[in-house]
Amino acid sequence: MLQEGNKAPYFKLKDQNEKEISLSDYKGKNVILYFYPKDNTSGCTAEACSFRDDFPKFKKVETVILGVSPDSVESHKKFAKKYNLNFSLLADEDKEVIKKYDVWKEKSMYGRKYMGVERSTFIIDSDGKIKKIFRKVKVQGHNEEVMEVLKS
């Protein structure tokens, strides 16, 4: 189980432009690594759009935003284009990174249990250590929580 202060697990995944992105690409910068269940669903769209809208604020504090879901590169491409997203969405179809970050959880909807991504955000500092973990994220107001941590 990952904890704050741990070294963030390494990853390399393709983004919506088929570019390989790895955590080491951002050494020296803060990284917001947020995991979300599915492109084009209401909560995930609201979360992505709020990161898009606050992108300039995060850029000012030298922070990169990376979204991760089990959707395909093609799905991410359509999602990013539709909502004019200005950051990378990483395709983790094999759920390798999702499992490394322990966000693949049993969920329940209408009494039916299934496995899925638990909406979570990891703030990784410029040295590659996990500064803060947000689990079971509520989209409303989440960006403000993230910014508070980055400013501290």
What are the Cα distances from residue 98, in Å, to 7, 25, 34, 53, 67? 16, 19, 10, 25, 11
Give me the catalytic one of 13, 44, 48, 66: 44
Residue 2 placed within a domain: no
CB 90 within 8 A of CB 68: yes
Residue 64 placed within a domain: yes
Residue 133 placed within a domain: yes
Residue 6 placed within a domain: no
pLDDT of residue 23: 94
Say whether 18 sits in a helix, a strand or coil.
Answer: coil
Residue 26 pLDDT level (bands cut at 50, 70, 90): very high
Q: Would you give the distance in Å from CA 149 to the centre of its chain?
A: 16
Per DSSP, what are the bridge partners of residue 34?
67, 121
Nearest CA-CA partner of 70 in 47, 103, 48, 110: 103
pLDDT of residue 132: 96
Each residue of 82-124: pLDDT tens digit? 999 999 999 999 999 999 999 999 888 788 898 999 999 999 9
Structurally, the chain folds into a number of domains equal to: 1
Which CATH number do you get for residue 37? Answer: 3.40.30.10
Q: Would you give the distance in Å from CA 141 to the centre of its chain?
A: 16
Would you state the structure tokens that stand for residue 141, as one six-digit string?
A: 């107001």
pTM: 0.93
Q: Residue 109: give the domain boundaries.
A: 12-151
Q: Does residue 49 have an active-site annotation? A: no
Residue 80 pLDDT level (bands cut at 50, 70, 90): very high
pLDDT of residue 84: 95
Say which residue, 147 or 33, is predicted with more confidence. 33
Nearest CA-CA partner of 123 in 12, 38, 1, 8: 8
Residues shown for the chain: 152
- Whose tokens are 């910014």? That residue is 147
Each residue of 27-73: pLDDT tens digit? 999 999 999 999 988 888 889 999 999 988 988 888 999 999 999 99
Nearest CA-CA partner of 20 in 7, 11, 8: 11
